[in-house]
Amino acid sequence: MISVKKVFLYSAIAILANSTLLSSIADASFPGLNGPIVFSTERDGNREIYTMNADGTNQIRLTNNTDFDSEPSWSPDRSKIVFRSDRDGNREIYTMNADGTNQTRLTNNAGRDMQPVYSPDGTKILFTSDRGQGVAQYRLWTMNADGTNQTVLPAVFGAQGSWSPDGSKIVYNGNQGSGNEIFIMNVDGSNITPLTSNGSGSAPDWSPDGTQVVFSASDGDNDIYKINADGTNQVKLTNNTGIGDNHPMWSPDGTKIIFDSNPAGGTNYDGYIMNTDGTNLVALSSNPAFDEYHRYSVLIPPVVSPSPTTSPSPIETPILAPNTGVGPAVSGIDMLTLSILGLVVVAGGLIFSRRV
Residue 108 has phi, psi (to 5 degrees) of -155, 90
- Mean pLDDT (whole number) for 97-125: 96
What is the pLDDT averaged over residues 11-33?
Answer: 45
Span 168-192, pLDDT tens digits: 999 999 876 656 899 999 999 999 9
Confidence of residue 109 (pLDDT cuts 50, 70, 90): very high
* Average pLDDT of the segment spanning 290-317: 62
Mean pLDDT on 30-38: 90
Per-residue pLDDT for 151 more than 50?
yes
pLDDT at site 242 = 76
State whether residue 206 is helix, strand or coil.
strand
Please give the Cα distance from 309 to 250 (Å, whole number).
42
What are the residues whose beta carbons fall under 8 Å from the beta carbon of 191, sequence distance 6 or more?
185
Q: What pLDDT does 176 receive? A: 62
- CA-based nearest residue to 140, from 148, 129, 149: 129
pLDDT in tens, 45-84: 899 999 999 999 999 999 998 999 999 999 999 999 999 9
For the packed helices 332-355 and 4-27, what is the interaxial angle rounded to 10 degrees? Answer: 160
Using the predicted structure, report yes or no on whether residue 39 has a pLDDT greater than 90: yes
Residue 219 has pLDDT above 60, yes or no: yes
Is residue 310, in this structure, part of any structural domain at all?
no
Confidence (pLDDT) at 345: 40
Q: Name which of 75, 91, 73 is nearest 83 in CA terms.
A: 73
pLDDT at 263: 81
Query: Quick one: 288 and 339 in the same domain?
Result: no
pLDDT in the model for residue 20 = 38
242/106 same-domain check: yes
Q: What is the pLDDT of residue 297?
A: 96
pLDDT of residue 300: 78
Query: Are 225 and 333 within one domain?
Result: no
CA distance 276 to 259: 12
**CATH number for the domain including 246?**
2.120.10.30
Residue 215 binned pLDDT confidence (cut-offs 50, 70, 90): very high
Q: Are residues 103 and 221 in the same domain?
A: yes
Each residue of 248-274: pLDDT tens digit? 999 999 999 999 998 877 778 999 999
Looking at the structure, do residues 163 and 267 belong to the same domain, yes or no?
A: yes
Backbone phi and psi for residue 134, each to the nearest 5 degrees, phi listed first:
80, -25
Confidence tier at 327 by pLDDT (50, 70, 90): very low
Given pLDDT bands bounded at 50, 70 and 90, which one contains residue 313?
very low
Would you say residue 324 has pLDDT above 90?
A: no
188 located within any domain: yes
pLDDT > 60? residue 307 = no
pLDDT at residue 286, as a whole number: 81
pLDDT surpasses 50 at 336: no
Claim to verify: residue 350 and residue 240 sit in the same structural domain:
no
Whole-structure pTM value: 0.77
Distance CA 109, CA 111 (A): 6
Phi, psi of 338, deg, nearest 5: -60, -40
Q: Are residues 21 and 155 in the same domain?
A: no
Q: Identify the pLDDT of residue 349.
A: 47
Count of domains in the chain? 2
Write down the mean pLDDT value for the chain. Answer: 80
Cα–Cα distance for residue pair 299/32, rounded to 1 Å? 6
The pLDDT, as a whole number, for residue 22 is 34
Pairing of strands 193-194, 180-186: antiparallel
Domain-embedded: residue 308: no
CB atoms within 10 A of CB 340: 11
Q: How far apart are CA 52 and CA 46, in angstroms?
A: 19
pLDDT number for residue 348: 45
Considering the domain architecture, whether residues 13 and 145 belong to the same structural domain is answered as no
Q: Does residue 108 share a domain with residue 54?
A: yes
Residue 313 lies in a domain: no
Kindly indicate the confidence band of residue 285, based on its pLDDT and cuts at 50, 70 and 90.
Answer: confident
- Give me the percent of the chain exceeding a pLDDT of 70: 74
Question: Does a structural domain hold residue 252?
Answer: yes
Domain containing residue 54? 33-299
Question: Which comes out higher in pLDDT, residue 44 or 26?
Answer: 44
